[in-house]
Amino acid sequence: EVQLVESGGGLVQPGRSLKLSCAASGFTFSNYGMHWIRQAPTKGLEWVASISPSGGSTYYRDSVKGRFTISRDNAKSTLYLQMDSLRSEDTATYYCATDWRSNWYFDFWGPGTMVTVSS
Amino acid sequence: DTVLTQSPALAVSPGERVTISCRASESVSTRMHWYQQKPGQQPKLLIYGASNLESGVPARFSGSGSGTDFTLTIDPVEANDTATYFCQQSWNDPLTFGSGTKLEIK
């Protein structure tokens, strides 16, 4: 059974850092690109970052470039999102998702982890 | 960025046919995908590549369109289809989503 489980969310002050993890199981993690998508409370969905199967290529939306870093450990089947210089507008539920066919859509999503940026 | 415009809400009765539209501000070819999100849950992929049904999704769901105009159809609608439906394009950078259409089953 395919599973994605995010962790690491919580309450953090503006300007501080947080690192999210996404533990994958039930598939060969190293074969597939992975994504982070977020959803602010009662709002729509927003793509955040993506990473190639090897981790050699990464992609970000402009508003997080230079502040967020996506990475992966294929030996641990785990995806990460290092979030630095956090802002109130980063408050959201963060989902990790798979990309089975490498076509830049999201086949399977984890249940998400909530990040609240507030003083 | 490519803006995807969806109607905010729809209400239909069980057994009816419903169409949910998504209009893109520029062409996205057929790189349009649809998701269902029920309250308190993560989104679920329904349709990819405008018209391809994801494995395990009931055949009541279908998608069509190309270029800038796309449609998700549910026929017939069932009570448990109550959810918000999002479109997402993967033709232009950055990847973008529509704001969602909330479907209520009367």
Number of H helices, E strands in chain B: 0, 11
Interface check B44 vs A, CB under 8 A: yes
Query: Tens digits of per-residue pLDDT, A32-61?
Result: 999 999 999 888 899 999 999 999 999 999
Cβ-nearest to A109 among B31, B33, B43: B43
Cβ-nearest to A107 among B45, B94, B99: B45
Does residue B7 surpass a pLDDT of 90?
no
Number of H helices, E strands in chain A: 0, 10
Cα–Cα distance between A80 and A23 in angstroms, integer?
9
Res B8: pLDDT:
87
Residue A101: pLDDT band (50, 70, 90) is confident
Nearest CA to B70 out of B35, B31, B102 is that of: B31
Does residue A95 surpass a pLDDT of 90?
yes
Query: Tens digits of per-residue pLDDT, B82-100?
Result: 999 999 999 999 999 999 9
Nearest CA to A47 out of A115, A9, A104, A112 is that of: A104
The percent of residues in chain A predicted with pLDDT above 90, rounded, is 93
User: Helices (DSSP H) in chain A: which residue ranges?
Assistant: none
> How big is the A-B interface in CB pairs under 8 Å?
49
Q: Do A105 and B48 touch (CB under 8 A)?
A: yes
Q: Do A44 and B98 touch (CB under 8 A)?
A: yes
Query: Tens digits of per-residue pLDDT, B21-67?
Result: 999 999 999 999 999 999 999 999 999 999 999 999 999 999 999 99
Interface check B49 vs A, CB under 8 A: yes
Does residue A74 surpass a pLDDT of 90?
yes
Q: Do A103 and B49 touch (CB under 8 A)?
A: yes
